[in-house]
Amino acid sequence: MDGNGRWAKTRNLPRIEGHRQGTKSVEAVIRAAREIGVEYLTLYAFSVENWQRPTLEVRGLMALLMETLKRYAKELADNQIALRAIGRLADLPEKVRAQINITEAKTAANAKMTLLLALSYGGRVELIEGVRALARRVRAGELAPADIDEAAVSGALYTVGAPDPDLLIRTSGEMRLSNFLPWQTIYTEWYVTPTLWPDFRREDFFAAVSEYNRRERRFGGV
């Protein structure tokens, strides 16, 4: 979800206002995805690299995250959407982790859609932690090195139990993966739009899905 800062800058607003406007796009996309039957939606909200941003901006983002989780917990529950946070969650402030736990617990039984929220997430960090988990299993005699296959690696990642993404939507015209789900997206279809995330709405989401539906996916085959 890229472009919040640029959206604010073009309007001579503080960067946090771009992030605040971006929460409206989050709401619109979740509702649109739920409307057409999407079963898994992953939103890249905060990366491990984002901790390098100015302290004031990071604090504002954490406060906005808390506010958003509280505000939409009931809507998620009412629409049968389960929240699941993925990433290096121990990095988050204690209050934020507590609110995530509350929202996850309230929505755990929902079965229509799973919303994965990537927080303090980094694809390389995820892979490193997954490899370490597998190494511990090998050392404990629970797993033979020869038995480590794609399924074993996938089962050691934050996204265990979730399917690989079919479609990756990249806003603000950026043409890079930015450390997002590198293992899971090897055959994911990309859709890049110049639209900044705060301006991305229901119609934009449907345009991306429509483009995806015109693609022919061969997964390396003929």
Q: What is the pLDDT of residues 95-134, one digit of tens each?
A: 999 999 999 999 999 999 999 999 999 999 999 999 999 9
Beta strands in 69-112 (DSSP E): 81-86
Is 213 among the catalytic positions?
Answer: no
pLDDT above 90: residue 215 = yes
Q: Tell me how crowded residue 91 is: count the other CB atoms within 10 A of its CB.
A: 15
Average confidence score pLDDT of the chain:
96
Of these residues, 4, 12, 50, 110, which one is catalytic? 50
- Torsion (CA) 192, 13, 71, 122 in degrees, nearest 10: 50
Is 166 among the catalytic positions?
Answer: no
Question: What pLDDT is stored for residue 219 in this prediction?
Answer: 83
Residue 132 vs residues 111, 116, 137: alpha-carbon distances, Å: 31, 23, 9
pLDDT above 70: residue 185 = yes
pLDDT above 90: residue 89 = yes
221 pLDDT tier (thresholds 50, 70, 90): confident
- Complete domains list, the chain, with CATH: 4-210 (3.40.1180.10)
